[in-house]
Amino acid sequence: MRSKDVVIVPMNVGLMFKTIRVKLGLKQIDLAVALGCASSFISKMELKGVNLPKDKYVILKDVLKVTNVPFLDFEIEEYEEDLRDWKNCAYTGDNKKAAELQPGLARRGMLSKNTYLMTQYELACAYYYFAMNKTDELNRIMSLLKKKEDALIDIQRFSYYYICGMRDLRASRYKIALISYLKAEKAGNRSPWDERKKIPYEGLYIGIASCLTFTQHAAIAEEYLKKFEDEASERYRYTSMPFSNVLHIRNLITLSKYDEAMEAVKIRMLEEKQAGNANQATIGMLHRLQGGIYHKTREYGNAINEYEASLVYTKRDSEIYCYTLYLKALAYHADGKIHEGNINIEEGLSKINDETNTEVLLKALKHSMNLKDPSSLNYMEKEAIPKLIEYGDHILAADYCEKLHVFFCEISKYKHAVHYCNKALTIHKKLREGDLSL
* Residue in 406, 410, 386 with CA at minimum distance from that of residue 396: 386
3-class DSSP state of 71? coil
Alpha-carbon distance 19 to 397, whole Å?
62
Alpha-carbon distance 123 to 109, whole Å?
11
CB 354 within 8 A of CB 139: no
Domain boundaries of the chain, sorted by first residue: 3-63, 73-196, 256-347, 373-438
In CATH, what is the architecture of 73-196?
Answer: Alpha Horseshoe (1.25)
Alpha-carbon distance 129 to 142, whole Å?
10
Between residues 268 and 163, the one the model is more confident about: 163
Q: What is the mean pLDDT of residues 101-125?
A: 69
Range of weakest confidence among 87-101, 211-225, 317-331, 385-399: 87-101
So what's the pLDDT on residue 288? Answer: 94
Alpha-carbon distance 191 to 274, whole Å?
43
Q: Is the pLDDT of residue 111 over 60?
A: no
pLDDT digits (tens, 9 = 90+) for 257-295: 999 999 999 988 888 777 666 678 888 889 999 999 999
So what's the pLDDT on residue 114? Answer: 64
For residue 368, give every residue at least 6 positions away whose Cβ sits within 8 Å of its Cβ, in sequence order, or none.
376, 380, 384, 400, 403
For residue 107, give every residue at least 6 positions away whose Cβ sits within 8 Å of its Cβ, in sequence order, or none.
68
Percent of the chain with pLDDT over 70: 87
In CATH, what is the architecture of 3-63?
Answer: Orthogonal Bundle (1.10)
So what's the pLDDT on residue 373? Answer: 95
CB 32 within 8 A of CB 75: no
Q: Is the pLDDT of residue 125 over 70?
A: yes
DSSP-derived secondary structure for 16-36:
HHHHHHHHTT--HHHHHHHHT
Q: What angle do CA 113, 114, 117 make, to 5 degrees?
A: 125
Q: Is the pLDDT of residue 325 over 70?
A: yes
3-class DSSP state of 369? coil
CB 80 within 8 A of CB 40: no
Q: What is the 3-state secondary structure (H, E, C) of 407-418?
A: HHHHCCCHHHHH
Q: What is the mean pLDDT of the chain?
A: 84
CB 304 within 8 A of CB 335: yes
How much is the pTM? 0.65
Alpha-carbon distance 87 to 203, whole Å?
14
So what's the pLDDT on residue 80? Answer: 73
pLDDT digits (tens, 9 = 90+) for 336-387: 999 999 999 999 999 887 667 889 999 999 999 999 999 999 999 999 999 9
**Four-residue CA torsion sign, 94, 100, 106, 108:** negative
